[in-house]
Structure 1
Amino acid sequence: MRAVDIRGGKGDANALFINPEVQKPQPGESEALVKIKAFGLNRMDLLQREGRYPVPPQTPSTLGVEFSGTIESLGPHIAEKGFKIGDEVFGLAYGGAYAEYIAVSTHMLIHKPKELSWEEAAGIPEAQCQPQTWITATQALYLVGEFFPGKSVLWHAGASSVSIAGIQLSKSGGASAVYVTASSREKIDFCVNELGASQGFNYKEQDFAKEIDKATGGKGVDIIIDFIGQDYFQQNLDAAAKDGRIVTLGALSGTKLPAGVDIGAFVRKRLRFEGSSLRSRDAEYQGRLRDKLAETAMPKFKDGSFKIYVERVFRWEQVIDAHKLLESNATKGKIICTIE
């Protein structure tokens, strides 16, 4: 089969090419072989391409963790009922989605609603770090952040795909307020006017912790979802409410804290700081998360209440241009590649 490969095993975007001689996978136990129609790009793909992302041991060398397509065959001993050859599905994988075919556990598949296009469906599953979505947002908000109605939420990188999903999930779930940070007024206006966020802060011009303090009358925010790490650590502690949760999904600014960071808020506010990664989770965990997404979000995809924002669709032959656009950090929503 054909699959996107990397010359020399790692490199910049120009090292990507379509290799016509990659071995076609065969479905193992509890797996389906899916013929891919579209796949989504994520920032982890950039890091993996450069050799800077620690992948799980079972991960294939081919990039890509989210896809949509049709089931071509099923392996033996499929534990989950309800999947058959010809089904239109989308899902999450440990890797291998930049290809014509992928073998993936049925625990990580969801039937594609007819209301969604292949491109929209491919943009639902994953997202680590920044603009990379619905499954990650669901995990961060519900499973790690322990969200329930009445809680307030701060989504950093508000115009990223994870936060676009998270803002909608928070509002639909009954959040008392939803705040965002972003790098421009255009992105903040998008989050507030299009997605319904309560308020947004330009992190280049404002101290978001001080703005949160003003907006909440000194209470702080209950749940903070962060992708930035080092540069936001102190402000996150300052912005959090008592008994607050800080969920970190990435560290785009780095992982080493500067001298002078005051961690007293952990005790004073009884804070919980928890990191999480979706890709390293086992298939059973991902299956439970898939079920949570199906319960909370799929009906709203079908009726149009939840919107999937696709920045741009490329043919997979343009994967170099797609990676360069993602690297520009100028996007709102997903970048998708399609396979004819």
Structure 2
Amino acid sequence: MKFIALTNAGGVENLQLQAMEIPEPAADEVLIRVYAAGINRPDIMQRQGLYPPPADASPILGLEVSGEIVACGAEVNDWNVGDKVCALVNGGGYAEYALAPATQCLPIPESFSYVQAAALPETFFTVWHNLFQRAQLKAGEIVLIHGGSSGIGTVAIQLARAFGAKVFATAGSADKCEAIESLGATAIHYRDQDFVAVIKEKTQGQGVNVILDMVGGDYIQRNFSAAAKDGRIVNIAFLQGSKTQVDFMPLMLKRLTFTGSTLRAQSAQSKALIANELKQKVWPFLENKTIEPVIDSVFPFAQVAAAHTRMESSEHVGKIILDFTLQ
């Protein structure tokens, strides 16, 4: 099979198309013929040498795929050869065939293309775990989503609204703010507006119940200011850095919960639980098209360097996808 090898940590020139033997599934795995794969920020960090894969994971980049199951391990009972699935993989997604734990596979929603399906696993697992399992977002609450035009952001907006929350989201351009508004959120242009001031004005000084942050840096202190009493703040990335000076007094005075997580390092049991909840509670919204992934751009498999460059530009709105059927 063909796959994208990372020859050295660094720039996109280190992503090289190579060939290797097709892997065989372990007892609890399925082998997927990959038709599309998602590009995610952790892929960029792994390429740069900043996010090494776990010891038991594939060194090949790629954390989400869609395609058709072509082989099942001996202990797999819930899937069959020929089933069309999307899957959260433990690495190995940038390849014509990828292994996935059977419990991390989900059926492709009715009428979804492989490209649309490849946009689902990483973002939906991440958003569900952080907004709903960790932050316990409830109907009637107010949530602030930073990076609202990203793949994570566009999914978080739609899921929060589908479950009855009011949504504010930040972005850095007029076009991105327009995209956010089209999804039903109130956009805050962070280059022109102070999101803390906007939140306090729009909530009559009360603040927001939940904040999903991928920025970090000085946003950490500002999130404390924007949060309501008993608010929950979840960090899933630190694009502006994980080290900053913070006054934690608001954490006590407002009784805030400040937490964070990464998805890849979680146990197979944790990921299986997320997958089960997604299938039961979220997949119906996808089936009836209440929620749809926002696709920014699609690149042929061999143009992975261009796809990474697009993500690093931060100009994208929604997901960037590799299509293995394009030349």
Q: TM-score range by the shorter chain?
A: over 0.9
In 2: Cα distance, 1:238 partner to 1:55 partner? 35
In 1: Cα distance, 2:247 partner to 2:197 partner? 16
Alignment match of 2:113 (pick from 111, 114, 117): 117
Q: Which sits farther off after the overlay, 292-301 or 230-239?
A: 292-301
Q: How does 1:91-130 map to 2 (within 5 A)?
A: 91-126=87-122
In 1: Cα distance, 2:61 partner to 2:21 partner? 15
- C-alpha deviation, 1:54, in angstroms: 3.5
CA contact (8 A) 2:53 2:59 kept: no
The one-letter amino acid paired with 2:163 is G
Alignment match of 1:304 (pick from 275, 289, 302): 289
Equivalence for 2:134: 144
Q: How does 1:321-332 map to 2 (within 5 A)?
A: 321-332=306-317
SS of equivalent residue, structure 2 residue 13: helix
Q: Deviations over 1:135-162 (max 9, x none)?
A: 2111111111111111110000010111
Moved beyond 4 Å, runs of 4+: none
Matched, 1:245 2:232: yes
Alignment match of 2:173 (pick from 164, 179, 184): 184
Q: How does 1:35-50 map to 2 (within 5 A)?
A: 35-50=33-48
Relative to the length of structure 2, the TM-score reads 0.97
The one-letter amino acid paired with 1:256 is K
Residue ranges of structure 1 left out of the alignment (5+ in a row):
127-132
Equivalence for 1:3: 3
Q: Deviations over 1:123-143 (max 9, x none)?
A: 0011xxxxxx12211111111
Equivalence for 1:130: none
In 2: Cα distance, 1:55 partner to 1:213 partner? 41
Q: Deviations over 1:47-100 (max 9, x none)?
A: 10011113222121100000001111111122xx33101100001011000001
- C-alpha deviation, 1:202, in angstroms: 1.4
Q: How does 1:286-297 map to 2 (within 5 A)?
A: 286-297=271-282
In 1: Cα distance, 2:255 partner to 2:39 partner? 37
In 2: Cα distance, 1:54 partner to 1:215 partner? 42
Equivalence for 1:336: 321
SS of equivalent residue, structure 1 residue 179: strand
The one-letter amino acid paired with 2:30 is A
Q: CA RMSD in A?
A: 1.1
In 1: Cα distance, 2:52 partner to 2:211 partner? 25
SS of equivalent residue, structure 2 residue 298: strand
Q: How does 1:278-293 map to 2 (within 5 A)?
A: 278-293=263-278
In 1: Cα distance, 2:95 partner to 2:109 partner? 23
Equivalence for 1:17: 16
- C-alpha deviation, 1:225, in angstroms: 0.1
In 1: Cα distance, 2:279 partner to 2:175 partner? 32
Residue ranges of structure 2 left out of the alignment (5+ in a row):
none
- C-alpha deviation, 1:231, in angstroms: 2.4
In 1: Cα distance, 2:175 partner to 2:299 partner? 24
- C-alpha deviation, 1:113, in angstroms: 2.3
Matched, 1:236 2:223: yes
Alignment match of 1:89 (pick from 80, 85, 88): 85
